[in-house]
Structure 1
């Protein structure tokens, strides 16, 4: 999907506000409900439609053409238009925290990077497709070259290619895009050597779990504190990574509550 610039986003915001100023249009952000009247004449409410993926949207007229505006975008625009423009222009997406796409309550929406949004869907079981599957063979080769020859970190590659660190790691280890890995290894035998650059230890992981579950710190704040990707924190607190430490921590929490 093409990313909109600030000018286009401002037009979208103005369009939404234009319809919301119509008599009969209303909204309840806490309930995630928006009612929009027809622009011309007394034709009642505009129809709320649903995409094949389950997202709710309105079709609004803009410069003589029909424009699709998703309900979750409308809610975020009405909540804080300036923040919406800034976040979306920077490449952020709007995520449904519960995973329920029809639940557009303001409390169920958050801004996430595309990579974190993909991880979120994977963690909730909304997607069974490997997160690295959308990487092309050419991009996989670029990752291998960047890591083994240009000394780029996994975190840097994660940001550059917009996929989680775990997915980058599987490509670098030849667990995914095997053909490209074998080709790169054959051409660069001296380059493909293990690099031990993980900054996480057992103690750090336990501290992350404690900060998230007991101290109420957000995943974003934890990621910033330990200088790691937010997706890494997400995988830790759901037991997708460091699984044994996660299970041990969970068992300790149950014993303390008993």
Structure 2
């Protein structure tokens, strides 16, 4: 049975309420770990130590230790407070911030929906459209021109206010591959084919955007093996052709 708890908002929190007003927060025992309660704002309380637990980062997400077992924090919140009638397997962060585990920022989703959402809000897009981009496409063009001219990576990083070693990724792993500079080796960049040749265009787009076929399959909602058969010509599918056409022409 879920319980409700009135938590007085303190000065330490990032928002204020009129004096005497209380903020209603839901909380419930965690299934399988009944010595712990979880609140809809993400806090986890231990009834053994009588204190709130700290979260730990893992691959961008947050985890919490329950009975010596590391659990994904966002899944605990979703399992406790968000209905999942369609039994969707994944939990999506609506704003794209993996550490924002308030229940209002979470939703159940399929793998395809999760991948499409990440693409739509820019989490898997290249260049300046990526949410972690430190420079613009124009600045990266300037950076690559400086690299071509032989300027030291450390000097370029200092000029643009980048952390040390940032350009090592650009050079050694061919980061920002969609920006091509004549004379600067870029094995991933190829001339853009005509969209009328949809298979050739799709292959070019996957290489340019550095997105796998499997992720594209999730985005357009098709089976990965079926998409591969279509792109390799083993079994061309009119339905996949239409989905690709709609995706690239939207």
Instruction: Tell me if TM exceeds 0.5.
Output: no
More relative contact order, 1 or 2 (CA 8 Å, 6+ apart): 1
TM bucket, shorter chain: 0.3 to 0.5
Q: TM-score, normalised by structure 2?
A: 0.42
Larger Rg: 2
Q: TM-score, normalised by structure 1?
A: 0.41
